[in-house]
Amino acid sequence: MTRVPRVDDYMATTLYTFLPSDNVRAAAHTLMSRRLSGAPVVDRSEKLVGMLSKKDCLKVVYTASYHQDWGGRVDEYMSREVETIESGTDIIQAADKFVQSRYRRFPVMSNGRMIGQISRQDILRALYDQWADD
């Protein structure tokens, strides 16, 4: 029987991250220019404290259209409740988590520390790699 891959086999380990104090306008520009749907927000000790998504940034621009001022800090707009996935989770369990969730990406955690990020696209690629030739 073939070993089912784990999220660790497909997760991204080089991540763009933001600090809570970063300028949200600059962060939005980074998401757009790098074609990222979102990125983790970490504190100075690299502890995961939130996620900033393009949807969060849309709120910034939408509000700015009324107030003619779009600025502020990432922590004013980021999502603070972050769903994560544990290192070692197999791709089938991860796929189920994605199907049940509205999120496009999950930080991958090991012993309470973020070690990577897995996206819907990563899981789709993993499933394709696993069973496309069958």
30-51 confidence digits (pLDDT tens): 999 999 889 999 999 989 999 9
Does 123 score more than 90 pLDDT? yes
Cα→Cα distances 131→3, 41, 91, 92, Å: 12, 34, 12, 12
7-131 to CATH, choices 3.40.50.10470, 3.30.300.30, 3.40.228.10, 3.10.580.10: 3.10.580.10
When pLDDT is cut at 50, 70 and 90, the band that residue 60 belongs to is: confident
Whether the CB-CB separation of 73 and 21 falls below 8 Å is answered with yes
Residue 27, phi then psi, degrees to nearest 5: -65, -40
Give mean pLDDT, residues 107-130.
Answer: 93
Question: What integer pLDDT is reported at residue 72 of this predicted model?
Answer: 87
Question: For residue 26, is pLDDT > 60?
Answer: yes
* pLDDT at residue 3, rounded to an integer: 78
- Compare 75 and 60 and report the one with higher pLDDT: 75
The C-alpha atoms of residue 66 and residue 3 are separated, in whole angstroms, by 54
Q: Are 104 and 119 in contact (CB under 8 A)?
A: yes
CA distances 61 to 25, 29, 58, 78, Å, are 9, 12, 5, 14
Q: Residue 1: pLDDT above 80?
A: no
Q: How confident is the model at residue 133 (pLDDT cuts 50, 70, 90)?
A: low
